[in-house]
Amino acid sequence: MKGLLEIYFTFFKISSVTFGGGMAMMPILQREIVQNKQWITDEEVIDYYALSQGLPGILAINVASMIGYRKKGLVGDIAASLGTVSPCILIITILTSFISNFRDIEIIQHAFAGITLGATALIFSAIVGLWKKSVVDKICLAIFVITAAIMFAFDISPVILIILSGVIGILVKKSGLRA
């Protein structure tokens, strides 16, 4: 039990100082888990990230789950994941109750009108980042364009497109097609 609590609170602490996505958590993980706790090595952290990106699920949780599992099996997996989400639940819950009250104030409305532009710009920078890593040939370019076009034209679930693209990826690679 003591070990589990330690896993829970370690990930609670890590999550509390992570701002942004799962990748932003990496340097903090390395400091806490590798240098302070010495649970795993730097190389393992990098391996876990590589694996996590190849598995379904939120990146940060996949990595936390793997480290927890490595330490204590399934219960460690659960402790690490819950530790990671607890600060989010606490902070966001408190904040949202405030925001709905603030929303009517004029200055807040102006701020959010500006923030809408900033947040949209952040999405575009994420698209650029994903593009660089994913669109490596003409087939990938086709998948990228067709996915976006289908989403504009039809009312279809993204899940279907993800599954289809996975199948296409396997078929293309198996058939040895060169783009």
Among positions 5-34, residues that touch other proteins (CB under 8 A) are 15-25
Given the complex with other proteins, which of 1 and 117 has the nearer CB atom?
117
Which stretch in 1-9, 30-38, 95-103 sits in contact with other proteins by CB under 8 A? 95-103
How far, in Å, are 92, 101, 116, 123 from residue 112 at the CA level?
17, 14, 6, 16
Given the complex with other proteins, which of 36 and 102 has the nearer CB atom?
102
Beta strand extents in 108-161 (DSSP E only)? none
Residue 103: count of CB within 10 angstroms of its CB: 10
Q: Are 18 and 33 in contact (CB under 8 A)?
A: no
177 is an interface residue for other proteins by CB under 8 A: no
51 is an interface residue for other proteins by CB under 8 A: yes
Which stretch in 1-9, 35-43, 145-153 sits in contact with other proteins by CB under 8 A? 145-153
Binding other proteins (rule: CB under 8 A), the pick from 33, 61, 71, 83 is 61
147 is an interface residue for other proteins by CB under 8 A: yes
Give the separation between CA 18 and CA 27, rounded to whole angstroms: 9
Q: Are 62 and 23 in contact (CB under 8 A)?
A: no
Q: 56 φ, ψ to 5°?
A: -65, 155
Given the complex with other proteins, which of 3 and 129 has the nearer CB atom?
129
Give the separation between CA 146 and CA 173, rounded to whole angstroms: 19
Given the complex with other proteins, which of 10 and 81 has the nearer CB atom?
81
Which stretch in 2-10, 35-43, 81-89 sits in contact with other proteins by CB under 8 A? 81-89
State the binding string over 105-144 for other proteins (x if CB under 8 A, else -): --x--xxxxxxxxxxxxxxxxxxx-xx-xxx----xx-xx
Question: How many alpha carbons fall within 13 Å on the CB side of residue 171?
Answer: 7
